[in-house]
Chains A and B, each alone.
Chain A
């Protein structure tokens, strides 16, 4: 995926990884989704999601960045910032 990934593209990438992590192929996800709303999206699956995203998009989060993400939209904001810095 290129650094100019759109929000819908990133949402789809996040959905695919999370669907895999929580083992729910038909997982529905929106930018407003939060961990509380998704069954099995616990702290360890959050780690798997973040590491999965790093591997998929080939960047690394810093330790501060991954704290306090309030919903999927906030994660997309962060990923877009990371990808923009890289170019």
Chain B
């Protein structure tokens, strides 16, 4: 399935695609050594069709029958009183509940026995010791599926809705469990057309009135509310109602909508058990503004009105603000220099979000999982309370692999969809809203240390291997020239000398055999990252057996992937082939490149001199160097060594 240009909630596009071995993993989950509850929740986190849900539900039931603990999933016994066929829901409900932290058991009443089950104190539902009872009925059960044109329609609706009040009261006294009421979707079958709105006895007007009463009833009786009308509206009622499946199987809504309906039940039950997430963690570059602040500068960022991309990022910021105002804590987690990351909040006039809106601000070059752990710790909340919004697929994968408890929505390429994905995913489902919710945000912001929490990087070996990186090396050439010039003239952060060259100068380098040039491309399983690194070496003045590294720069997108180690290995391989015995590197500090002050030190160079102004000189003997073992495939386009090898 592709969600390039459009998306529907029916496909749960914020969830990851189901892996090929999903069914096998479901079968194995019970006998596995990992914590079963966590494993089930992880498997439930994919974009499950009903068929997948059946496999997961089977695994969950098998674990439960086998007496296995499903912790940390919270148990919940849900009664189901349905006015039509509900059997198709059962597996999907279990799977969706697990996604939201719940080990669900469903006790389903027989087909269309709603009133009987409620009124009989000894009925299945009333004797089942339930945590809540879902009353899954629609306009047809209330018999407001036909217009009332010959008498008082409001009275007719009120009369029908009395049944629901009786039902809730009967359940209260006979079972004690709270009810979950559903609102009623409106079928796309107009009678008068637009005029239906103005006729009180049209089906549309009667259902509107019924939904108003259902809302009041939920309030009066302390019942929960599942806004099925809203779900159907988001799906589209012409897709929600399926006349064939109603006629043939008495399905109250299309089987295609079972996964999204079930996910909403899961959200609600999760919210009842306190599983709602509490903190929205935002990446910065290309997530809440367009561009990379470290390279483009504050003025180069795209955010704000009057530009399609700028509007998209403003919509993300507005969503974050709205969540904050209802009590969701905001945090930043970005690979950036802290100073650069904070600058747009202070200086860019179009930014809606300001520094004071964030309870924790983590901008550094350490891996994101470690930073997310620091955020959770600072706020004293669990990792399962965090949602990370990040445009970078590799970062998302890293966080999911290291911290499966953190919710990480998928995002499409077009930022116009970001706010939609974040909100449609339902991470912040609520069952109440109080004044304290709004105050809580302020108290977090006051308590939290506002400066970055120091974190220790974790071992990323396995993660890096899972990226299936392919790195390719080539000397400068005509095809790459434009992009090389762009990188050389734009890269500010990971740039040890910040020397700028025009295309004409690059052409001269290509032709000059005494100059070593290297362009580096990287691809991984998420896609082609394009050209991400440049090295230029020249013969060292006064020593023909040494190279001076004139330029070394990289795109910050590939930090933490050991790409620089691979680049050094390649450079030294080429140096050796040309009889070079020593490499000399210079770090020239600028306002933006502090992150590479120790670049050569980390790569094993010796510090030779440090000059006033912070400029440092480093060198390494080729003979003392041995290439590290890296988890990436190499592709080489140097004419002499058209060799490709796998490490």
Contact = CB atoms under 8 A, between A and B. Distances in A.
Contacts of B88: 44, 47-48
A51 B255 contact: yes
B247 interface: yes
B255 A20 contact: no
Contacts of A63: 244, 247-248
A20 B51 contact: yes
B58 A23 contact: yes
B30 to A, nearest CB: 15
Given A20-B54, A23-B58, A52-B51, A44 B244 contact: no
Chain B, interface SS category? helix
B351 to A, nearest CB: 46
Interface in B218-257: 244-245, 247-249, 251, 255
* Residue of A21, A23, A47 ringed by the most chain B CB atoms within 10 A: A47
Contact of B244 (A21, A48, A61): A61
Interface in A33-76: 44, 47-48, 51-52, 55, 60-63, 66-67
A44 B51 contact: no
Interface residues of A, number: 15
A63 to B, nearest CB: 4
B174 interface: no
A23 B56 CA distance: 12
* Residue of B58, B245, B247 ringed by the most chain A CB atoms within 10 A: B245
A44 B255 contact: no
B392 interface: no
Contacts of A44: 85, 87-88
A31 B248 CA distance: 23
Contacts of A55: 49
A52 B88 CA distance: 12
A47 B87 CA distance: 10
A66 B58 contact: no
B584 to A, nearest CB: 64
Interface string B247-276: 111010001000000000000000000000
A35 to B, nearest CB: 15
Interface in B83-138: 85, 87-88
A61 B242 CA distance: 12
Contacts of B247: 63
Nearest to B250: A47
Contacts of B245: 51
B18 to A, nearest CB: 14
Contacts of A61: 244, 248
Nearest to A45: B87
B239 to A, nearest CB: 13
A52 B51 CA distance: 8
A62 B247 CA distance: 10
Nearest to B87: A44
A66 B247 CA distance: 11
A39 B54 CA distance: 18
Contacts of B251: 47
B451 to A, nearest CB: 53
Nearest to B54: A20
Nearest to B251: A47
A63 B246 CA distance: 9
A74 B54 CA distance: 27
Contacts of A47: 85, 87-88, 249, 251
Contacts of A21: 54
A48 B443 CA distance: 51
Given A44-B88, A48-B88, A51-B255, A62 B54 contact: no
A23 to B, nearest CB: 6
* Residue of A20, A44, A62 ringed by the most chain B CB atoms within 10 A: A44
Interface in B380-430: none
Contacts of A62: 244
Nearest to B55: A20
B67 to A, nearest CB: 20
Nearest to B243: A63
A51 B85 CA distance: 14
Given A44-B85, A44-B88, A60 B51 contact: no
Contacts of B244: 60-63
Contacts of A51: 245, 255
Interface string B31-55: 0000000000000000001110010
B87 to A, nearest CB: 4
Interface in A3-51: 20-21, 23, 44, 47-48, 51
A20 B57 CA distance: 13
Nearest to B255: A51
A20 B49 CA distance: 13
A40 to B, nearest CB: 12
Nearest to B23: A20
A44 B255 CA distance: 12
A23 B249 CA distance: 21
16 contacts: A20-B54, A21-B54, A23-B58, A44-B85, A44-B87, A44-B88, A47-B87, A47-B251, A48-B50, A52-B51, A55-B49, A60-B244, A62-B244, A63-B247, A63-B248, A66-B248
**Which 3 residue pairs spanning A and B have beta carbons closest together?**
A63-B248, A63-B247, A44-B87
